[in-house]
Amino acid sequence: MKARRIAELLRTQPIDEQVVIQGWVRTFRNNQFIAMSDGSTIKTLQVVVDRETTDPEILKRINTGAAIEAHGTLVPSQGRGQSVELVADDITIHGEADPEKYPLQPKRHSMEFLREIAHLRFRTNTFGAVFRVRHALAFAIHKFFNDEGFYYLHTPVITASDAEGAGEMFRVTTLDLHKVPMKEQGSIDFKQDFFERETNLTVSGQLEAELGALALGKVYTFGPTFRAENSNTSRHLAEFWMIEPEVAFCDLDDNMDLAEAMLKYVVSYVIRECNDDLAFLNDRFVKEEQSKPKQERSEWSLLEKLAFIVEHDFERLTYTRAIDILRNSKPNRKKKFNYVIEEWGADLQSEHERYLVEKHFKKPVILTDYPKDIKAFYMRMNDDDKTVRAMDILFPGIGEIVGGSQREERLDALKARMAEMDIPVKELYWYLDTRKFGTCPHAGYGLGFERLVQFVTGMSNIRDVIAFPRTPGNANF
Ligand code: 4AD
Ligand code: MG
């Protein structure tokens, strides 16, 4: 008989049917009641074992973490907390978990401890919920773009360019680091490397996505990106997944509309499809907030935050207006910010972004038209020659979740900006070709996928929304 999944059994409740389930023991009470999980839902199915007739050797091996298969009949449950249960007539143990050694006992473990056993943490309620929601978000993103007529473009992971021009790249090489081939002038001879040139892991698929958009009209990437920035924060990873749509004949306003619509779509999707997991994560979030000092607590529950995103328009304003607001804000005047905002041109830190979102506007904010000096080379210059058509979307508890811009489509303006910023014009000839041949206004943005998962699940550390986080000093598993 084919095994059925617990989520389906709880939904359809096929009373009196013979069923088989396969999964892992969460708890075993009174030598009789197994709470079983198979990953299909946060809920467990109660399996009732006949302790008179079951072999005591089998009973001894039913421990938390063991993989088992249960055959039996589904019946209405007498107990509280579940509508149905499985009365087992046969239990097979596939794999034991020695209770003396299994690190995941049924009690509350700290997130730090669970990170050390990231290979096992999928088996906890919290991580089960996080990874089911993560999947649902990824699926919703593909569905949104597909329904909007976008093509999913796979851009390379290994590149020879620095899309952001920030120099935060991981090198890719097969050279023997103990015997690096040198040229006569004393520099490294990359001609002898695998690609016969210097290469690195991509920081963004944007430049290649632009090439695609200028032929296919609307494309998006969804892949891993890598940043060797030494940021040990709860919002930075060295390896993270990014979604980067790029659209031809599109300006910054269209771009903001697209990003806002996408975020609302994916959040509504998980509200609809991930009820049980979100209810669990909401309880967890509320408890965690209660343990914080009052002024740091979120005013909203997780579910309220999610509903709020869907129901309200994002506030749109220029960087210049935001600087005015920040400069006159209480924490700035009282020098409570770690970085006090003195003048126009300052880069915004997450404390400033969060002030705008959480204290001033109390809703998601889109900042536009940043100073050119704090943004990348490819953004379209405004007529003031000081600001560029950039936009960042700021979310409560997260800060920047999306960064994007209208692109500089004018060849001369782009070349001038690249020269000013020391971006190698010659190496990026292929990028410039799009401006030489059939250029047009176009725009796009990047959504940090883990920051989105963080927002939706309410997890406070980004390391807890990706299976195996890569951060400075850590590439375990
Ligand atoms: O603002 P960023 O650097 O923009 C780009 O990479 C553009 N090429 C995007 C585009 O226009 N196509 O990154 C975009 C988003 C950020 O808003 C943030 O959500 C996320 O990527 N991000 C990170 N997420 C986790 N860890 C990091 N180190 C991140 N760096 C950026
Ligand atoms: Mg950014």
Asked whether residue 365 falls in the same domain as residue 447, the answer is: yes
Asked whether residue 85 falls in the same domain as residue 219, the answer is: no
Asked if residues 221 and 409 have their Cβ atoms less than 8 Å apart, the reply is: no
Q: What is the pLDDT of residues 357-366, one digit of tens each?
A: 999 999 999 9
Q: Are strands 151-152 and 399-406 parallel, antiparallel or unpaired?
A: unpaired
What's residue 135's pLDDT?
Answer: 98
Nearest atom, ligand 1, residue 229 CA: 28
Q: Domain of 93: which CATH number?
A: 2.40.50.140
CB-based contacts of 304, cutoff 8 Å, min separation 6: none
Q: Domain for residue 189, yes or no?
A: no
399 band by pLDDT with thresholds 50, 70 and 90: very high
The pLDDT of 431-460, averaged and rounded, is 98
Asked whether residue 367 falls in the same domain as residue 438, the answer is: yes
Residues touching ligand 1 (Cβ under 6 Å) are 163-164, 204, 206, 227, 229, 236-237, 240, 242, 244, 400-405, 444-446, 448, 450-451
Nearest atom, ligand 1, residue 227 CA: 28
Grouping H, G, I as helix, E, B as strand and the rest as coil, residue 366 is strand
The pLDDT of 224-252, averaged and rounded, is 97
CA-to-CA distance for 59 and 34, rounded, in angstroms?
10
CA-to-CA distance for 262 and 452, rounded, in angstroms?
12
Each as own residue / partner, the long-range contacts of residues 267-275 (CB below 8 Å, 24 or more positions apart, any chain) are 267/306, 267/309, 267/310, 267/456, 268/310, 269/136, 269/137, 269/140, 269/143, 270/133, 270/136, 270/137, 270/140, 270/306, 270/456, 271/303, 271/306, 271/307, 271/310, 273/136, 273/140, 274/132, 274/133, 274/136
The pLDDT of 326-345, averaged and rounded, is 95
The Cα-based distances of 136 to 154, 159, 277, 286, 393 in angstroms read: 20, 30, 11, 22, 22
Nearest atom, ligand 1, residue 392 CA: 17
Q: Domain for residue 179, yes or no?
A: no
**Percentage, residues of the chain above pLDDT 90:** 94
Statement: residue 296 has pLDDT above 90: no
Tell me the β-bridge partners of 448. Answer: 242
What's residue 105's pLDDT?
Answer: 87
Asked whether residue 26 falls in the same domain as residue 141, the answer is: no
Asked whether residue 70 falls in the same domain as residue 160, the answer is: no
Q: Domain for residue 54, yes or no?
A: yes
Q: Domain for residue 117, yes or no?
A: no
Asked whether residue 388 falls in the same domain as residue 451, the answer is: yes
- DSSP codes of every residue in 434-452: HHHSS---EEEEEEEHHHH
Protein residue whose Cα sits closest to atom 17 of ligand 1 = 402
- DSSP codes of every residue in 70-123: EEEEEEE-SSTT-SEEEEEEEEEEEE---TTT-S--SS---HHHHHHTTTTGGG
Asked whether residue 357 falls in the same domain as residue 317, the answer is: yes
Q: Is 136 left (phi over 0), alpha (psi -120 to 50) or beta?
A: alpha
Q: What is the pLDDT of residues 166-180, one digit of tens each?
A: 889 999 999 999 999
What's residue 80's pLDDT?
Answer: 82
Protein residue whose Cα sits closest to atom 29 of ligand 1 = 236
CA-to-CA distance for 97 and 391, rounded, in angstroms?
51
Asked if residues 415 and 433 have their Cβ atoms less than 8 Å apart, the reply is: no
What's residue 430's pLDDT?
Answer: 97
Please measure the distance between the N-terminal and C-terminal CA atoms of the chain and give it in whole angstroms: 36
Q: Domain of 354: which CATH number?
A: 3.30.930.10
Q: What is the pLDDT of residues 84-105, one digit of tens each?
A: 999 999 999 999 999 999 999 8
Domain of 72?
6-106
What's residue 78's pLDDT?
Answer: 84
Asked whether residue 139 falls in the same domain as residue 74, the answer is: no
Q: Domain for residue 185, yes or no?
A: no
The pTM of the full predicted model, rounded to 2 decimals, is 0.97
What's residue 333's pLDDT?
Answer: 95
Asked whether residue 282 falls in the same domain as residue 162, the answer is: yes
The number of folded domains in the chain is 2
Q: Which of 106, 138, 159 is the last residue of a domain?
A: 106
Å from CA of 436 to ligand 2 middle: 27
Q: Domain for residue 180, yes or no?
A: no
The pLDDT of 40-58, averaged and rounded, is 95
Asked whether residue 150 falls in the same domain as residue 89, the answer is: no
CA-to-CA distance for 286 and 146, rounded, in angstroms?
35
Asked whether residue 423 falls in the same domain as residue 335, the answer is: yes
Protein residue whose Cα sits closest to atom 5 of ligand 1 = 446
Q: What is the pLDDT of residues 1-16, one digit of tens each?
A: 899 999 999 999 999 9
**Helix %, strand %, coil % of the chain (to 5):** 35, 25, 40
Statement: residue 386 has pLDDT above 90: yes
Q: Domain for residue 178, yes or no?
A: no
Closest-approaching ligand to the CA atom of 203: 1
Length of the chain equals 477
The pLDDT of 24-39, averaged and rounded, is 97
Å from CA of 185 to ligand 2 middle: 38
Å from CA of 38 to ligand 1 middle: 35
Nearest atom, ligand 1, residue 245 CA: 12
82 band by pLDDT with thresholds 50, 70 and 90: confident
Protein residue whose Cα sits closest to atom 2 of ligand 1 = 403
Q: Domain for residue 195, yes or no?
A: no
CB-based contacts of 420, cutoff 8 Å, min separation 6: none
Q: What is the mean pLDDT of the chain?
A: 96
Asked whether residue 102 falls in the same domain as residue 142, the answer is: no
The pLDDT of 292-315, averaged and rounded, is 93
